[in-house]
Amino acid sequence: MIQYKIIAIQYAKAAFEFALEHNNLDLWYNMFKFLTKLINNNCCIKYIIKNIKIESNKKLELLINIYNDFMHNKSDIYHLNFIKIIAKQNRITLLPIIEEQYKILYDSYYKYFSIKLVSAYELSTYEKIEILKSLKKRYNSKNIYIINISINKSLIGGLIIYINNTVIDCSLLSKILKLKYILKGNILCK
């Protein structure tokens, strides 16, 4: 699985750099979103894409025809070339991972940050606003949005913040576990 993610990161990075150079990041992002939704939400397409008995050129033909219909026969030649390249390498199934990695690059470029919060208790509106203010200042961005808040009472207190690929653990449980580790003599304290 890790090797597939590494491959997907390379494809996403190449597509992102190309899109940036040609000033059409949004168009590429929309292409990836469309293809990912197509693969993930259509059980027939998913079956065809994952079926190793179906030749890659048939899968390619299907994807290109659907994408052309979606684009009203005005598909970008570079998008079609990209789809052809991954199809010939039998990597169509990587499209959702490529889209995920492209989105990370896209969001970082525009300084968009989607955050998920895990809290020991329900957060008040004031606490959410303060968390957002702090993160906007830390990341120098006005585009930080909370997309999910969940409660995990085992944290005892505090919270864990997931922001793009970063985890900020401010939970009391984490602090207790670190202290326990230190007290067991696993870390020398001065």
- The whole domain housing 80 covers 2-107
- Closest Cα to residue 161, out of 171, 152, 153? 171
Same domain, 101 and 122: no
0.85 surpassed by pTM = no
What is the number of domains present in the chain?
2
Q: Using 70 as the pLDDT threshold, list the residues of the chain that sit under it.
A: 1, 186-190
Q: How many CB atoms lie within 10 A of CB 155?
A: 19
Relative to beta strand 166-169, strand 143-151 is unpaired
Please, what is the average pLDDT of the chain?
91
Does residue 55 fall inside a structural domain? yes
- Distance separating alpha carbons of residues 58 and 52, to the nearest angstrom: 11
Q: Give the chain's length.
A: 190
Residue 112 confidence (pLDDT) = 92
pLDDT in tens, 16-48: 999 999 999 999 999 999 999 999 999 999 999
CATH number at residue 73: 1.10.520.20
Does residue 189 fall inside a structural domain? no
Same domain, 117 and 169: yes
Residue 70 confidence (pLDDT) = 86
Residue 188 confidence (pLDDT) = 52
Look at residues 42, 77, 107 and tell me which one is the last residue of a structural domain: 107
Same domain, 46 and 6: yes
Helix 95-109 to helix 2-21 angle (10° resolution) is 50
